[in-house]
Structure 1
Amino acid sequence: MTVPAVFVSQFPVYSLTSQLLENWAECYPTHPRDRMELPREAAGMNTPPLVYQRAPDVSELTTEGDKLERRDIIPGKYYGGLKVWSCAPYLVAYMFGNRDMFRRLFEITDNPIENTTARKTPPDGQFAGTSLVHPIVAEVGCGQGLPGIAALLLGARRVIFQDYNEEVLEICVKSNIGANLLRHAEVVALRENSSPSCLPVVQMVSGDWSRLQWQDCDDGTGKKAHDVRCKVVLGSDVTFDDEACEKLAEMLERCLSPTSGVAYIASKQYYFGTNGGALEFQKCAEGRGLQVEEVSRMDEAGGMQRLIMRVERRG
Structure 2
Amino acid sequence: MAFRFNFFIDENETNEPDIHDKMDLELCSPKHKQESTEKSKQIADTAAGSSPRLGTDKHGDETPSKKKFCFKAAKEHNIPEDLNKILENKVMETVSDLYYLNSSVVEMMCLDGADEEGIVSKSVSSHSDLIPGVYEGGLKIWECTFDLIDYFSEAEIQFTNKTVLDLGCGAGLLGIVALRGKAEKVHFQDYNSTVIDEITLPNVVSNCINEGNRTGSGNDKKTSKPPSKRPRKAECSPDALTKCRFFSGEWSEVSQLLLSSNKPFSKYDIILTSETIYNPDYYSALHDTLAQLLDKNGRVYLASKAYYFGVGGGIYLFEKFTEERNVFRTSIVKIIDKGLQRCIMEMAFKDSS
TM over 0.5: yes
Of residues 292, 314, 320, the one that matches 1:254 is 292
Of residues 152, 156, 173, the one that matches 1:146 is 173
Of residues 174, 183, 186, the one that matches 2:201 is 174
- Aligned pair 1:237/2:275, yes or no? yes
> Relative to structure 1, is the Cα distance of residues 21 and 272 closer, same or farther in structure 2, using a 3 angstrom cutoff?
same
Deviation at 1:25, TM superposition (A): 3.1
Distance 1:139 1:273 in 2: 26
- Aligned pair 1:96/2:138, yes or no? no
The one-character-per-residue Cα deviations of 1:115-141 (angstroms, maximum 9, x if unpaired) are: xxxxxxxxxxxxxxxxxxxx3211011
2:139 maps to which residue?
A: 82
Where do 1:10-29 residues align within 5 Å? 11-12=76-77, 14=79, 21-29=83-91
- Aligned pair 1:311/2:353, yes or no? no
> Relative to structure 1, is the Cα distance of residues 165 and 313 closer, same or farther in structure 2, using a 3 angstrom cutoff?
same
Of residues 303, 312, 329, the one that matches 1:266 is 303
Q: Secondary structure at the match of 2:148?
A: helix
Deviation at 1:179, TM superposition (A): 1.9
2:93 maps to which residue?
A: 36
Identity %: 27
> Structure 1: which 5+ runs fail to align?
30-34, 39-46, 108-134, 220-224
AA aligned to 1:102 is: Q
> Structure 2: which 5+ runs fail to align?
1-33, 41-71, 112-117, 219-233
Where do 1:197-236 residues align within 5 Å? 200-212=242-254, 213=256, 214-216=258-260, 226-236=264-274
The one-character-per-residue Cα deviations of 1:120-177 (angstroms, maximum 9, x if unpaired) are: xxxxxxxxxxxxxxx3211011111111111111111311110000110000011111
Q: Contact 1:156–1:200 at 8 Å: present in 2 too?
A: no
TM-score under structure 2 normalisation? Answer: 0.63
Deviation at 1:193, TM superposition (A): 9.7
Aligned length in residues: 255
Quote the RMSD (CA, aligned, Å).
3.3
Deviation at 1:53, TM superposition (A): 2.2
Of residues 284, 289, 292, the one that matches 2:330 is 292
Q: Contact 1:63–1:71 at 8 Å: present in 2 too?
A: no
TM-score under structure 1 normalisation? Answer: 0.70
Deviation at 1:264, TM superposition (A): 0.5
Distance 2:330 2:316 in 1: 10
Distance 2:274 2:237 in 1: 33
